[in-house]
Structure 1
Amino acid sequence: MKTRWITMLTLSLFNWGPVAGQLKVGDKLPDFQLQDQNRQTFHLKNELGKGPLVIYFYPKDETPGCTKEACSFRDSFTSFQDLGAKVIGISSDDIASHKKFAEKYRLPFTLLADEGGKVRKLFGVPKSLGMTGRVTYVIDNEGKIIHLFNSQLQATKHVTEALQAIKKS
């Protein structure tokens, strides 16, 4: 049991692959709906076919790593737009927290409130270091995962990984 826990922790910290139960490359995304920072309903099925999607799960608004990650996505937002991609961040924070976070850091992309963690569970996003994992999925027009990056500690690398995956597809 101890060895399994160490293996799972290592995988999620340093991106050595998905953990058991986590969606993986080639899987089709399950449909979901959540509220964004502006109280608008985001429905996955309405976004498919409009270009690549980058869906990134992060632990919490206003924490150092999550702020660096969000600002890195913000700073590269034009590159994502140029590739026709939409960026979506998801955490268990509520709508008000997302609104404040987005306004404070001028985040030009969608933040979704997954307060009960149901979408995180649908994706099988693992926990690491006692908090929600930091996982980025790149999705094609048909809703299939073409790339995933799972690393709690390399917050800003999620952006470069996503951009490279979109450019390759």
Structure 2
Amino acid sequence: MKTAFVLGATLLASLVLMNRTAHAEVQIGDEVPEFKLVGSDGKTYTSEQFKGKQAIVIAWFPKAFTGGCTKECKSMREQGETLKQFDVAYFTASCDAVKKNMDFAASLDLDYPILSDPDKTFAKALGCLSPRGVSSRWTYYIGKDGKILHIDKSVKTETHGADIAAQLETLGIAKKQ
């Protein structure tokens, strides 16, 4: 009985430690993990295509076609003219399939792409994959140098577009000429 308890406790401790290391969160100043994701516009986006050229904002949401995610995406669409003033590529992202995000983007008439991470590789690398298997509602601001500038873990869905613009201003992201 004692041996079974010790083995069970050891197994549980190992699983907890594996889970922690598998989902370690990136921090401000860290290099963004490499990514290659398909957007709802059918284009493939990679970390390398922006490095040295343009800042990036990636606003993760848990699941397409849900209330909060719809509000967040609409808020970003409504602030599109303001966001486009900055020298930044901005996206929303989820672990949904590409087709689902294409349908979701079309239903909302979005003017920016939703990135799809159906195998959850990038979400895991960032540390934003929740225990439920969907991404947390976190937004990552990445500098031209490929380093994480800011992580917003307190996203307000209805004002997120304006909040992103304000954060870009605070971070000193250049405006387009």
Shared fold by TM > 0.5?
Answer: yes
Contact in 1 for aligned 2:76/2:162 (Cα 8 Å): no
Deviation at 1:157, TM superposition (A): 4.5
Q: 2:97 aligns with which of 74, 94, 98?
A: 94
The answer (yes or no) to whether the contact 2:65–2:104 under 8 Å persists in 1 is yes
Within the alignment, does 1:62 sit opposite 2:65 as a pair?
yes
Number of residue pairs aligned between Structure 1 and Structure 2: 149
Secondary structure of 1:61's counterpart equals coil
Partner of 1:105: 108
Partner in structure 2 of residue 6 of structure 1 = none
Preserved CA contact (<8 Å) 2:140 2:151: yes
Is residue 80–residue 111 contact of structure 2 (8 Å, CA) maintained in 1? yes
TM-score (structure 2 length as normaliser):
0.76
> What are the equivalent positions in structure 2 for 1:135-154 lying under 5 Å apart?
135-151=138-154, 154=156
Where structure 1 has 5 or more consecutive residues not aligned to the other structure, the ranges are 1-19
CA RMSD of aligned residues (A): 2.0
**Shift of residue 99, structure 1, vs aligned partner:** 1.1
* Residue matched to 1:5: none
Q: Counterparts of 1:161 and 1:21 in 2: how far apart (Å)? A: 26
* Rg (Cα) greater in structure: 2
Q: Which one-letter code corresponds to 1:23 in the other structure?
A: V
* Matches of 1:155 and 1:61, distance apart in 2: 13
Structure 2: gaps of 5 or more residues: 1-22, 173-177
Q: How does 1:1-169 map to 2 (within 5 A)?
A: 21-127=24-130, 131-151=134-154, 154-168=156-170, 169=172
One-letter amino acid matched to 1:75: E
Identical aligned residues as a percent = 27
* TM-aligned CA deviation for residue 129 of structure 1: 7.2
Kept in 2, the 8 Å contact 1:134–1:155? The answer is no
> Displacement, 1:160?
3.6
3-state SS in 2 of match to 1:142: coil
Decide whether the 8 Å contact of 2:27 with 2:148 is kept in 1.
yes
- Describe the superposition over 1:104-137 as per-residue Cα deviations: whole angstroms up to 9, x where unpaired: 1111111111111111001000427774310001
